[in-house]
Structure 1
Amino acid sequence: MWVLAVISVMAVGAIAVITDARNESKRIEVNKLTKEIELEQLRLENYDKETEKMRLELEHSKQILLEHNQK
């Protein structure tokens, strides 16, 4: 009888440890995915800014060429 009680207590403890480890693993995975999403958002923002910068540079170059051709 005592053996059954000891085994039950040990089983509950082992299950708690396994559950905690699994939960921590899931928390780490969620944190990783959150960071990946943030990184992708920064990449998209950077892409938009670079695209706008290139558009403005091209527009400026066109203006310079037009002014040069008019002279």
Structure 2
Amino acid sequence: MSMWIAIAAISISAILADMFNKNKKIELKRIDKEIDLEKLRLKTYEIETEKMRLELEHSKQALLEIKR
């Protein structure tokens, strides 16, 4: 009888360990996706900042030409 209990305990612990590992893999994938998203946000921010800088420079040049 105790042999069956030991077999059941080992089986249950193996199932729980497998679930834990799968959950950790899913968590790592989620974190990787968040990192990718943050990289895209930073790239977008850099592009928008450069665009605004160019627009400001263009406006500045236009104002200087008007004052002449």
Q: Report the TM-score range of the alignment, normalised by the length of the smaller protein.
A: over 0.9
Q: How far 1:68 sits from its partner (Å)?
A: 1.2
Q: Deviations over 1:10-52 (max 9, x none)?
A: 1111011100110011011111111111111111111100100
Q: Which runs of 4+ in 1 moved over 6 A?
A: none
Alignment partners' CA distance in 1, 2:19 and 2:12: 11
Question: Which residue number in structure 2 is paired with residue 32 of structure 1?
Answer: 30
Question: Which residue number in structure 1 is paired with residue 6 of structure 2?
Answer: 8
Gaps of 5+ in 2: none
Report the TM-score when normalising by structure 1. 0.91
Aligned-CA RMSD value: 0.7
What percentage of residue pairs aligned between the two structures are identical?
Answer: 50
Alignment partners' CA distance in 2, 1:41 and 1:64: 35
